[in-house]
Structures are given as C-alpha cells and as structure tokens.
Structure 1
C-alpha cells in the first residue's frame, strides 16, 4: 500500500473530509483532519443535505456507516407552491424508496462521522494559513494559532475558498450571476405559522418572477431557506445591505416579494439570521503538475446547489480517492492521485453542466411564462 508509514493531512472537517478520513482509517492509515472550528460543538450553518443512494451513500456504505446514517436521516416530502400560496404538487418518497434521498442535518452528519474516527483524529481550532513543500517532499503546515504539522500527503477538503488549491491549480471560482440570501427561523410554528403551514414538514420550492424560494425543515423543527435571483457581480458590493441588520434585509425582501402571498413576507419578519451567498463555480480543469497533494469536495469543484448534487459528488471524491490510494495496483501516491483525478474530472464536469442548466432554467423568464400558462 502506497500509504504505508505515511502521514496524511486532510484540511477541513466537513462531511467529505471526515468521510475520507474514516475510509483511510479502516485500513490503518495515519490521518489527521485539521479544522478551523473551535470544537466539534461549533454550530454549522446551512440547510439539510440529501444524500443519494447512488452517489453519497456509496461512500457511507464503504465506510460501514450506512445503517447509522439511516437512523440519523429521514425520508422527506417535497412540496411545490406558487407565489399566491397555492399548493401545486406534493410528493412523498414511495414505499421501498424511502431512503433513496433522505435528508440529514449537517450537525447530525458531523456527529455521526466523528463518532467513528479514532480519538484525536480531528485537530480543532486549526485554521491553515500556509503550506510549504520542501524538496524532501514532506509538507509543512502552518496554522493561525501558531501550531505546525508535517505530512507526506495533503488533501484539501476545506471548501470553495480553499487555500490549498493554489498548489494544484491557478483557477479561481467564478461568479455565476446568481445570489442567494439564506435565512433561518428557529421557531417557525410560533413566528411564521402561515408560512409553516404552506411548507409543511418537509421541503418546499416556489418559482416566480425569476426568483426561487426553497425551504427545508430541520430535525428540531427550525426552518432554513434560500432565496435566489440574478444580479450582476457589482450588486454584491453596491447593494448597501448589511446582512447583520435583520430589519434592513427583511424590508428589502418585502419589497422584492411585493406580489407574493403575505405568508412569504411573514417568513422574512420571523428570520433570526441572514447570510448572503454569491453563487460560484470552479470548473475541474487545467490543473498544474503537483506532487502528493490533491483536492476533494468543494475545494475541487465548487458549484451552486441548484441540482442538489454537490455534497454527493464530494462524497464520491472521498470514496474514489481512498480506493485508489489503498489499491495495491497503484505503484505510487502520485499515480493513485492521478487515477482519482481522471475519474473526478469526468463526473464532476457532468455535475457542473447539470447544475448550470438547472440554475439557468430556474431563473429564466421562459420558466416564469411556462408556470403562468400552467396556472391558466
């Protein structure tokens, strides 16, 4: 095995990095995961994740975690509504397919993965600031807290703005033309009962006026939602919105949704926290020569969430990279990494194309006209 007596450093304790670490530890590989969060109890922002049976679940199965994943996750109904608040469609997972795409809270997924790693695997409060690769091939990692670490292999799994990426490619994530305002309501039954009735107990999507609203119900009943719309990149700098000022953002959204059912605006007034998320895409191409280092997950191929495939592609990365590194047929670490990257470039590029198509369709005037015709 090419990793025998080698130290592997994974940068980022998201689901992809932790799954990759688990897959290596099953074969006795020495691996540490370096994470900027203060500790494992740091709250993770964001909505629920749907892990597909033919993508992400393959990695969890190989990691021996599928049964436990089913205990943490839940089959989730999905609704489609219009801007008037009319229920257009509601789908429940069919019997026999309940766990094809179950949803799981991000914190629950992290808890599950951490529970199956050796004690001390994750080194918390370790934000990577720089990375050196001396001539002997051993990497030297520097962290914001002043600590350093050495590793023979480095895997960047620290998201779309990864600072590991510069050793692999000169490419930078590009703005797609879409912005997302993310909101969270901790007590929706109390503070936005009309919207809660509209969205039910699962996921809800609405498309109108070239805007997309998507809400998710977490395990504790809280709501996470996303509102997406097209804007030029300079709008991000010039809109003048302070996203820590909940009232200002709610007022802006009220104006944006003036033609929508009041239940949507009730959602905004109930929101506990807002985050602005410019959508970015990094095409997995034109990587420069690199030695004993690679990227997985969003660090390799960040993409918007409009086809719901991002984390699943990242989990495939963890699966295929670990399989290649543990494959006795691979004669070197670089050969194993190259074999993985060839695979990843193919399926990640397809996922990028599907996501770009979905993003364009969701926010197109044509889509809006089609919905209006259907209502008539």
Structure 2
C-alpha cells in the first residue's frame, strides 16, 4: 500500500497527556484531522501530577506553534523558578531567585497545562475510556486498533504518546522501562499557608532541595496553595513490601522513614510527618540508552513512549517539542511515511544525546548539589 497524504490520513494519537494534546493541537491548526484516544474515563478522572517548568528552548516553542504561549504566561508562575538548596539541618546553602522579568522556565501545574491544551481542541477530538489493547494490520497500513472496551478503529498513522508503559511502543520496539535504583515517595500538603506555615516558609514560592548523599527531600510549590514533597531514596523497587508494609500503611511507612532520616533536623522531618493523606510510591524508571527502532511507515512514538529518562527537567519539554516537530513534518510532507522519516531523523539523535547525558542521573537526586527538578515525570 502506498503511504497516504497526511491531509487524507486517519491519524490516531494514543495518550492525552501534554505531548499527545500538543500534537493534536498543532495538527488541527495546520488543517489536519486527528483523533486522540485516552484510557482515562474522563478528563478529570485522576490527579494529573505536580508542577512543570516549560523551557523557552523547547516547551515554549511548542506552545508558540500551538498558538497558546500568551495564555500560558497568564497561567504560569514565574516565581516558581526560585530554587533553595539546604542541608539536612534545614540551613540554606544556596538560593537562586529569578529576576523580575525572567521567563526562561516558569512553572505551571500539570493539570492547568492539560486543561489549556484540551480547551484548544475541537469538540470530540479526545475519546475518553479507550485503553489501547492491540495494534494489528500490515506495517504499511492500514493499522487496526483494538481497545479494552471492545471497540476498534483503523488508522493510517498511530502516534504513541502513551507514556512509560506505552502499548504503542510494542509495535516498533521490545524495550521496556527499567528501574534506576532510586525511588520517589510523594507526599501532599494542602492549604499550606494556614495548615503548614512552617513548611510553606521553608519551601518558599518555588522548590527546595536537601540531600546527604544517600537520601534526599525535594519540596515544590504547586498552584492552589499546595506543596508536594518527594522523599528520595536509593532502595529496591519493592522496598515497601520488603519492609512488611503495604502502600496504604501510612503510619508504618512514616515510622520507617523517620528512622532513615533520624539524623535530619526536626524541621526537615516535618516534610515526612505532616503530610495530608497517604504517600504515593513512584519508582524512577528509564528506557535503555540508546532507544531506537527500525523505521515503520505507520507507527511512531513521542515523549516518554520514545525516550523515558530520569526526572531532571526535560520530560514534558521534550515530549511537547517532539509533538510539535511531528505535527509540522506531517503538515509539510507529501506522505505520512515521509513525515515520519523527517521527524525521526531529528528526534532520535536528539533523544539519544539527551538520554546519554542523563543516564544514571537518578543518582544526582541524592546529591547535595542542586539538581534540576523542573519536571514531574517520575509519575509512572
């Protein structure tokens, strides 16, 4: 079968995260039809995660191409660029305060970014409650998508924007995410100015990090008077069950953590003891480096589906840049096959270079030096 023109193609994006939605938005702005399928039953079915920083040299480029950059700046928090580095006693050892007009990587809550992108799409673009089960059909198309609810559809192009455990990835690559040896345990704090004023003062308007070489804490201000704290440890992936606990045993996990952080100051340990609700276990995963695949004329990947890396401030930014470049390649190419080749010719070397730089980078999260925690992509 000859590859079809993008304007005539049936394009299915799998995953309604920032990457998938950015791709759909840029395609629609260029007059190309697209459908997005997402496993969640609705847009507000689950928490979207913490705050993100969108960089001027990738994430903001994507939003400019999507026609949403000005709206982004009205929602973003430039003050979130502030970073505090502390030692385990809570003494501040460095303090980066952004200039009044600095907009290189302002923060935005992941949910607000997603809402911005969703609102920009034509009604009915996203089909909720469609978890991809299988992709079948010849490599040159059309591809047949079967969803867990029993429905099917045909596509001339399948774009995998479905994250770390991508179902689309299986059509082009056998690679699976691997545990890096470092894990986050997420804790939430709400109404912090009233209920947790000491933690609010400690963290400030941006982020605060402390580590002793073996364990760390990173706290980050979110919108809506929330703070998320990530307890960072070098532990087995099943450390909770190995300790005889379950993920919902908040008191048991807290006691274990207090023992691990016993030499940290009481003020710092309040980020372990005073959280609202249970902890969330988030082991840090990464794809093998390099992760590439043989060209496929009807399937490609973007974001974490293509290049899952440690959460060092690049994940969503790269996903949105991937999405934009793929959409533009489709708008400017004679065929879908040509567009995929053009896109992957740039994306694969870039992602390989970045992944090599960040390989083993999860260990930096335990360093007393300030890492770039600009992206909440540790969420599996």
- TM score, norm. by length of structure 2: 0.89
- Are 1:47 and 1:225, in contact at CA under 8 Å, matched by a contact in 2? no
Give me the whole-angstrom Cα distance separating, in 2, the residues matched to 1:289 and 1:145.
30
The partner residue of 1:47 within 37, 50, 59 is 50
Alignment of 1:1-376 (within 5 A): 2-75=5-78, 76=80, 77-97=82-102, 99-134=103-138, 137-233=141-237, 235=239, 238-271=242-275, 272-282=277-287, 283-305=289-311, 307-327=312-332, 330-356=333-359, 358-363=361-366
SS in 2 for 1:115: helix
- 1:373 aligned partner: none
Distance 1:162 1:266, change over 3 A: same
Q: CA deviation at 1:331?
A: 3.9
Higher alpha-carbon deviation: 214-223 or 194-203:
194-203
Q: CA deviation at 1:339?
A: 2.0
Give me the whole-angstrom Cα distance separating, in 2, the residues matched to 1:258 and 1:193.
23
Q: CA deviation at 1:43?
A: 3.4
Higher alpha-carbon deviation: 109-118 or 182-191:
182-191
- Are 2:186 and 2:281, in contact at CA under 8 Å, matched by a contact in 1? yes
- Are 1:185 and 1:273, in contact at CA under 8 Å, matched by a contact in 2? no
SS in 2 for 1:172: coil
- Are 1:284 and 1:300, in contact at CA under 8 Å, matched by a contact in 2? no
Q: CA deviation at 1:256?
A: 1.4
Distance 1:238 1:359, change over 3 A: same
Give me the whole-angstrom Cα distance separating, in 2, the residues matched to 1:2 and 1:92.
49
Deviations 1:139-193 (A, max 9, x none): 2222222222222110000100111101011111122221111221223344443
Q: Count residues with an aligned counterpart.
A: 362
- Are 2:11 and 2:33, in contact at CA under 8 Å, matched by a contact in 1? yes
Q: CA deviation at 1:31?
A: 0.5
Higher alpha-carbon deviation: 7-16 or 187-196:
187-196
SS in 2 for 1:4: helix
- Are 2:18 and 2:117, in contact at CA under 8 Å, matched by a contact in 1? yes
Give me the whole-angstrom Cα distance separating, in 2, the residues matched to 1:333 and 1:237.
47
- Are 1:192 and 1:267, in contact at CA under 8 Å, matched by a contact in 2? no
- TM score, norm. by length of structure 1: 0.90
SS in 1 for 2:220: strand
Higher alpha-carbon deviation: 10-19 or 130-139:
130-139
Q: CA deviation at 1:24?
A: 0.3
- Are 2:291 and 2:307, in contact at CA under 8 Å, matched by a contact in 1? no
Give me the whole-angstrom Cα distance separating, in 1, the residues matched to 2:213 and 2:363.
14
Higher alpha-carbon deviation: 280-289 or 221-230:
280-289
SS in 2 for 1:13: coil
Deviations 1:243-301 (A, max 9, x none): 22221221121111111111232222222232212211113534134231100010111
SS in 2 for 1:145: coil
Long gaps (5+) in structure 2: 370-380
Give me the whole-angstrom Cα distance separating, in 1, the residues matched to 2:147 and 2:217.
39
Distance 1:218 1:316, change over 3 A: same
- Are 2:41 and 2:129, in contact at CA under 8 Å, matched by a contact in 1? yes
